[in-house]
Structure 1
Amino acid sequence: MRNWAGNVDYSSADLRTPATVEELQELVSTSPRVRATGTRHSFSGVVDTSGVLVSTTRLGRAVEIDEARELAWVPAAATYAQVAPVLEGAGWALHNMASLPHISVAGACATGTHGSGVGNGCLASRVVGVEAVAGTGELVTGGAGDPDFGGLVLSLGSWGVTTRLAVAVEPSYTVGQEVVLDVPLTSVAREIQSILAAAYSVSLFLSFRDPAVVDSMWFKQRGTDGVPLEGLWGGRRADIQVHPIVGLDPHAATNQLGSSGPWFERLPHFKPSFTPSAGDELQSEFFVPRDAASEVLPALSGRSGEFAAALRTMEIRTIASDEMWLSPFQGRETLAVHATWTSDFDSVRPALQRLEDVLRPFEPRPHWGKVFLDFDKDWVASTYPETPKYRELAERLDPERRFVNTFVEDLGIR
């Protein structure tokens, strides 16, 4: 068995799909090693185990909307593409979505996956309740405000198997999307904070084919047929549909040109009916303080020749801070530097090393579910002060260490 990208061969081929929560409890309590797997979109070894892989796709629970409390209980294995139309049909929405709607709700939340927007937290930040089978085999529930809640959701799946999540919802809304092309990097670096705040969700894409130019800037604005941009920063407004990766067929990308549509058809970059991004690729992502953006962009451009040959595109986004114990956004407003690479790791590895070197002065935190190199236990201990609190919680919920794998051991998380 492999992950979606094919760069991770799982150590086990023993995949179980229990049909009930009771079957899942029995499976967990009798398995020395176990990990949950979702849509397998992680590029790292976060899911891997030498024991049993578990999928909750057969648990068969429907989305349950509690309108009075403005929340929805969603099955852990459901994808955002499956959940969003159900919410929309009932007049509700999520605050944000990731680039890909293809990913499972529990997997995305467990690894810190996010959308964009200076006021928008990661997907896990809107989770207000969790139900999971712990390493003891017990069914555990928790809610926002509980003392341990900071470690229950964004947990890398290292204490149990999530069965359902309660996610905060809000009244449905529409989004319009505009793209600005070929923007001078000097202009972007100078105005970066105002650019990042110019719409509800903003993404910048750079290929460094011309290191002095940002290929495209994507602006997603709520409740409008167009995005009222004050200026184009020296670029030009796109008058045809484009793909985030220069030269690829735009049919896979969500609709642009300012036409409004339901939130779930505009906030992602890609439509669920198409293979997302380039398809044949690797991905890395690093999170740095947002207030360093005006320094980060010139640093990337100035050394892009060291990593651009293996790069398909680089995306710059923002994420609001939160207080989850293992969150890459804990305690700081964040700028995300995302690299979509070619699929050849032999060529990607030296390029990735150079990218990490460029970002090192800015105290980067990597995305747990993507490819990274030079981060270890000492780095985790210095960057995540709540790790000891998380370890105590995980040892209490999983005393037999059933959910421990090489990934979390190497990082000192378990």
Structure 2
Amino acid sequence: MSVDIHQNWARNLAYSARHVARPATPEELAGVVEGAGRVKPLGSRHSFCDVADTTGTHVLLEAYDDGRPAAVVDQETGVASLRAGLLYGQAAVALLEQGRALRTMASLPHISLAGAVATATHGSGDTNGCLAGDVVGLELVTADGGTRTLRRGDADFAGAVVGLGALGVVTRVEMATDPAFEVRQDVVVGLPWEALLGELDAITGAAYSVSVFTRWDEADVAQVWLKSRVGGDAGQQERRPARDVLLELGAADAAGPVHPLPGEDPAACTVQGGVPGPAHERLPHFRSEFTPSSGAELQSEYLVPRERAVAAVEALRGLGPRIGPLLFAGEIRTVAGDDLWLSPFDGDTLALHFTWKQDDAAVRAVLHDVEAALLPLGARPHWGKISVTPPGDIAAMYPRFADFAELAARLDPAGKFRNRYLDALLSGERQA
């Protein structure tokens, strides 16, 4: 996508960086980091808040080459070593050429590996963790220009993966992969709310990845996207076709390809209608070769403990008349838990996503009501989306946050990788 690097993808945020660097070699990157006052890696610019902003130098890794293949798989372990600046779609294509596949993908294949991992970006599925959950190793350039490698089992690893860019510039990501597999995607419409609330576990467990789309003010659930591994899930065989489960609950087959945002061309979406294809061409909602929408939108997301899922859905339905007029689309997904310190998925989770019309004042006003309903249920805001909760209050939601703050201070004692967002987060200032 052609995007002004001085703005984020949605164009709701102008970056403050005085300089932009595109180092091509490890030596160039080390020199940029060592010589900068403040510095921040910038990925595909898909964060809607200023978590990736800096007043110093933005580092882009699009041209970075460390002399190793961009993607290489250890066929014995299935672990892939990947350049952190790759987009997920690019990584998936390179892995397929080596007979491997990413276990899960977000709705957009256009996001960078390092940025998605650093903010705990996720796809969907009862047994699928967030993208960071499949990381088994990281290489990063630290504040002094040196290189550090962390692997699962190291003392700092669980604190460094979802690192918000606070620890250094990640240059390489090692990820667990599966043997290449195929997925079919079916879409049903008009699911009754009573069925969703009464059979939530059956619905989210019906396929490898399930996404429920709603504007919250509708009589029925608008769409359910079912992504099933051909031949069954690697962890458990699909008990029966996912589509049949939903049809028995009162849904109907979509009449043809659909887009989750009303009025948008479904040509940008991945193939529907039950046609099998490579996992990376079905698990995202959008095709790599298309811009998924105009970008004139805002996004928020809240991650709720799975045991409070029904209460959260009912609370948002009650706010439907306020939410609906401001919303392009809402999405309900599930995410499995992990052990990463700043991952909001420390247990099985329901993810509640909002793609808003670009009316910042009105959206922030309704977010006060959304957060008043969801935060008492244990919800946490997504790191890369818009929230009205003060950063210090967000920090208090994470039991290991003090450990993360100590790690950040140890690896970056001068605060080279900090910015306004991280300053507020690490200060721990709470709302009065």
Q: TM-score range by the shorter chain?
A: over 0.9
What aligned pairs does 1:92-241 form with structure 2 within 5 A after superposition?
Answer: 92-210=100-218, 212-224=219-231, 227=242, 229-232=244-247, 233-241=249-257
CA distance in 2, matches of 1:245, 1:49: 32
Instruction: Report the alpha carbon displacement of residue 60 of structure 1 after superposing the two structures with TM.
Output: 2.4
Q: 1:39 and 2:44 equivalent?
A: yes
Shift in Å, 1:164: 0.6
Give the Cα–Cα distance (whole angstroms) in 2 for the partners of residues 230 and 90 of structure 1.
Answer: 35
State whether structure 2 residue 63 is matched by structure 1 residue 48: no
Structure 1: distance between partners of 2:408 and 2:364: 32
Q: Which residue of 2 aligns with 1:248?
A: 264
2:401 equivalent to 1:396: no
**Structure 2 unaligned regions, length at least 5:** 1-5, 233-240
Distance in 2 (alpha carbons) for counterparts of 1:296 and 1:378? 20
- Amino acid paired to 1:291: E
Secondary structure (helix, strand or coil) at the match of 2:321 reads helix
Correspondence list, 1:296-335, <5 A: 296-330=312-346, 332-335=347-350
Aligned amino acid, residue 265 of structure 1 = E
> Structure 1 counterpart of 2:27, which letter?
E
Post-superposition offset of 1:282: 0.7
- What do the CA deviations read for 1:169-217 (whole angstroms, capped 9, x no partner)? 110000011111011111111111111111110110002352x311011
**Does the CA contact (< 8 Å) of 2:119 and 2:163 recur in 1?**
yes
- Specify the code of the residue in structure 2 equivalent to 1:386: R
C-alpha change, 1:241 and 1:288, in structure 2 (3 Å) is same
Match of 1:18 among 23, 28, 33: 23
Segment drifting more, 61-70 vs 37-46: 61-70
Q: How far off its partner does 1:350 sit?
A: 1.4
Q: Higher mean Cα deviation, 392-401 or 166-175?
A: 392-401
- How far is 1:228 from its partner? 5.2
Where 2:213 maps in the other structure, the secondary structure is strand
The separation in 1 between residues aligned to 2:87 and 2:394, in whole angstroms, is 32
Distance (whole Å) between structure 2 residues aligned to residue 105 and residue 301 of structure 1: 34
* Aligned counterparts of 1:118 and 1:263: Cα–Cα separation in 2: 17
CA deviation vs aligned residue, 1:336-394 (integer Å, no higher than 9, x gap): 0000001121222212222222212212111101111123314422x111111111211
2:202 and 2:263 mapped to 1: Cα distance?
28
Letter in 1 for 2:349: T
Structure 1 ranges of 4+ moved more than 6 A = none
What stretches of structure 1 of length at least 5 have no aligned partner? none
Q: 1:231 to 1:48 in 2, by over 3 A?
A: closer
Q: CA RMSD in A?
A: 1.6
SS of residue matched to 2:154: coil
Number of equivalences: 411
Work out the CA distance in 1 between the residues paired with 2:72 and 2:246. Answer: 43
Distance 2:266 2:390 in 1: 36
Asked whether the 8 Å contact 1:270–1:277 carries over to 2, the reply is no
TM-score by length of 1: 0.96
1:410 partner amino acid: A
Q: 8 Å contact 2:203–2:246 — kept in the other structure?
A: no
Aligned to 1:258: 274
Assess if the C-alpha contact under 8 Å between 2:141 and 2:168 holds in 1. Answer: yes
Residue 238 of structure 1 aligns with an amino acid whose one-letter code is A
The 1:157/1:379 distance shift into structure 2, 3 A limit, reads: closer
Superposed displacement of residue 408, structure 1: 1.2
TM-score, structure 2 normalization: 0.92
Distance 1:360 1:38 in 2: 29
Q: 1:16 Cα deviation (Å)?
A: 0.4
1:411 partnered with 2:425: yes
- Stretch deviating more after TM superposition (239-248 or 306-315): 239-248
AA of the residue aligned to 1:120:
N
CA distance in 2, matches of 1:264, 1:388: 37
Contact 1:307 1:350 in 2 (8 A): no
Equivalent-residue separation in structure 2 for 1:379 and 1:113 (angstroms): 17
Task: Report 1:73-84 matches (<5 A).
Answer: 73-84=81-92
Q: Deviations over 1:218-253 (max 9, x none)?
A: 111001596453342211022311111233211111
Q: Percent identity?
A: 44
Q: Residue 413 and residue 55 in structure 1: after superposition, are their counterparts in 2 closer, same or farther (change >3 A)?
A: farther
Cα deviations across residues 133-154 of structure 1 (Å, max 9, x unaligned)? 0112210001111111001221
Aligned residue in 2 for 1:354: 369
Letter in 2 for 1:360: L
Contact 1:172 1:263 in 2 (8 A): yes
| Paired amino acid for 2:282 | R
